[in-house]
């Protein structure tokens, strides 16, 4: 992979990681158009590793919130009398991370095999219907301080569906939060917090287990470049998304998702591209 391709993939990752349009789906499409082998372990690892860029952006953007949550969690464990909303939210992040940790580890081979453009096209269109239903059914009557363990487990379980390319991790978790009655901004912030442990674990695991494959087929210079670009673009995307969801429903992304899914399906059906 040359550095120009790495920059393009980094921009794609940074722009789409936190938007409910599926970063993995977009990376799959771009990688295919660049002529990269989707079943190559090095390419698969590259896709996971560059997600560390946007996660670093989340850590920096929400640094005060993260420090406050960590402090509240530690103080709450040490002293039950100091347990409050932030302590419960910290535990919600922990509980919500468990499902994707288990499913992601046990099903990693199946996840790699699912990187087909037919899967991406179907998931882009199919999950759009869930996003519409979530916006219509969600009461948005609860805020971040009212997130409880049941909410965390439901959102965490739904996050596992996002392992399917084309669903979108943020689209899945925000939709689940809305269906649990959370307001849109609270559901989005919780989605950001949940992304941190899951994506760090995925990126570090791939770097450790497939390091030789990355060196052989992609190269660490390209991987580092893609990760840095994804960080810079992702940081800007966080602020933009938070402003957008404060004023608009997540269904503003549905027409784009459906159009892209149908376009990919048409290209596959006519032989312009292969799965």
Q: What is the pLDDT of residues 58-87, one digit of tens each?
A: 899 989 988 988 888 888 888 877 777 888
* Domain contains 76: yes
Average pLDDT over residues 151-164: 91
Query: Which pLDDT score is estimated for 112?
Result: 63
pLDDT of residue 226: 94
Residue 161 included in any domain: yes
CA dist 147 and 177 (Å) reads 9
User: What are the phi and psi torsion angles at 148 (to 5°)?
Assistant: -120, 180
142 forms bridges with which residues in the sheet?
A: 182
* pLDDT surpassing 70 at residue 91: yes
Domains held by the chain: number: 1
Model confidence at 8, in pLDDT bands (50, 70, 90)?
Answer: very high
Evaluate the CA torsion angle 178, 181, 185, 186 in order and state its sign: negative
DSSP 142: B
Mean pLDDT of the chain: 88
Within a domain: 94: yes
274 within some domain: no
φ, ψ of residue 248 to 5 degrees: the values are -135, 155
Q: Does 275 map to a domain?
A: no
Q: Which of 232, 238, 261, 162 is nearest to 202 (CA)?
A: 162
pLDDT score, position 109: 67
Burial track 75-100 (b if 16+ CB lie within 10 A, e otherwise):
ebeeeeeebeebbbbbbbbebbbebb
Confidence check: pLDDT of 41 > 90: no
Both tokens of 79, joined, read: 């002293």
Asked if the structure places residue 170 within a domain, the reply is: yes
Query: For residues 97 and 193, what is the distance between their CA atoms, to the nearest angstrom?
Result: 10
Least-confidence region, from 99-113, 218-232, 233-247: 99-113
Q: How buried is 243 (Cβ within 10 angstroms: 0-12 exposed, 13-18 middle, 19+ buried)?
A: exposed
Note whether 25 and 165 are within 8 A (CB).
yes
**pLDDT interval class at 111 (50, 70, 90):** low
What does the pLDDT read at residue 257?
Answer: 95
Q: Is residue 190 part of a domain?
A: yes
* The pLDDT of residue 114 is above 80: no
pLDDT, one tens digit per residue, over 129-147 is 999 999 999 898 999 888 9
Cβ 254 vs Cβ 128: under 8 Å: yes
Structure tokens at 258: 């459906």
Domain that holds residue 98: 3-269
Closest CA to 231 of 2, 50, 47: 50
CA distances for 115 relative to 41, 44, 90, angstroms: 12, 9, 33
Reported pTM: 0.86
Within-domain flag for 152: yes
pLDDT at 262: 95
What pLDDT, on the 0 to 100 scale, is given for residue 255? 95
């Amino acid at each position: 992979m040359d550095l120009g391709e790495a920059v393009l993939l980094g921009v794609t990752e940074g722009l789409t990681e936190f938007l409910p349009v599926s970063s993995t789906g977009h990376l799959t499409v771009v990688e295919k158009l660049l002529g990269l082998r989707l079943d190559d372990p090095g390419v698969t690892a590259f896709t996971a590793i560059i997600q560390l860029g946007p996660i670093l952006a989340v850590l920096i953007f929400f640094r005060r919130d993260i420090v406050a949550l960590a402090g509240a969690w530690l103080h709450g464990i040490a002293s039950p009398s100091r347990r409050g909303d932030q302590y419960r939210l910290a535990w919600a992040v922990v509980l919500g991370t468990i499902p994707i940790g288990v499913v992601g580890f046990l099903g990693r081979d199946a996840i790699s095999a699912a990187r087909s453009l037919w899967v991406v096209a179907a998931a882009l269109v199919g999950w759009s219907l869930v996003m519409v239903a979530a916006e219509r059914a969600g009461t948005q009557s609860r805020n971040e301080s009212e997130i409880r363990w049941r909410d965390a487990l439901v959102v965490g379980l739904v996050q596992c569906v996002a392992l399917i390319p084309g669903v979108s991790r943020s689209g899945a978790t925000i939709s689940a939060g809305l269906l649990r009655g959370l307001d849109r901004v609270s559901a989005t912030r919780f989605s950001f917090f949940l992304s941190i442990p899951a994506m760090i674990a995925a990126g570090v695991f791939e770097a450790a287990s497939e390091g030789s494959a990355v060196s052989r087929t992609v190269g660490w210079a390209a991987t580092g470049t893609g990760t840095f670009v994804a960080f810079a673009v992702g940081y800007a995307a966080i602020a933009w998304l938070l402003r957008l969801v404060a004023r608009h429903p997540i269904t503003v992304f549905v027409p784009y998702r459906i159009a892209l899914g149908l376009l990919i399906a048409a290209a596959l059906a006519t032989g312009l591209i292969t799965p």
